[in-house]
Amino acid sequence: MEKDIESYLRKRVKAAGGLALKLVCPGCTGVPDRLILLPGGRAYFAEIKDTGETPRKRQRRVHKILRDLGFWVFVPDSKAAVDEMLKEIL
């Protein structure tokens, strides 16, 4: 379930000394669910999905914009995917 994956992500990021802030941008659709801030001034985005789900068209468009700006955008759809994401960025 998506909320379980999101909760797991928040706990894992907190354990790593960071924050996983919920993003709410009125009037701007497609923004990733979480802004992940880690020690050392590192910032990443995460779009949490249920297992097997993929981002919608608008989300993919925003993800591309963020990546073109040099940010990393992850789309974890399981606790294992969260672990892989954290292994890559920690």
Interval 33-78: pLDDT, tens:
999 999 999 999 999 999 999 999 999 999 999 999 999 999 999 9
Q: How is the chain split into domains, by residue range?
A: 2-89
The architecture (CATH level 2) of 2-89 comes to 3-Layer(aba) Sandwich (3.40)
d(CA 61, CA 56) in angstroms, rounded, equals 9
SS3 12: helix
Please give the model's pTM, rounded to 2 decimal places: 0.96
| Residues with Cβ within 8 Å of residue 47, at least 6 apart in sequence | 32, 33, 55, 59, 63, 73, 74, 75
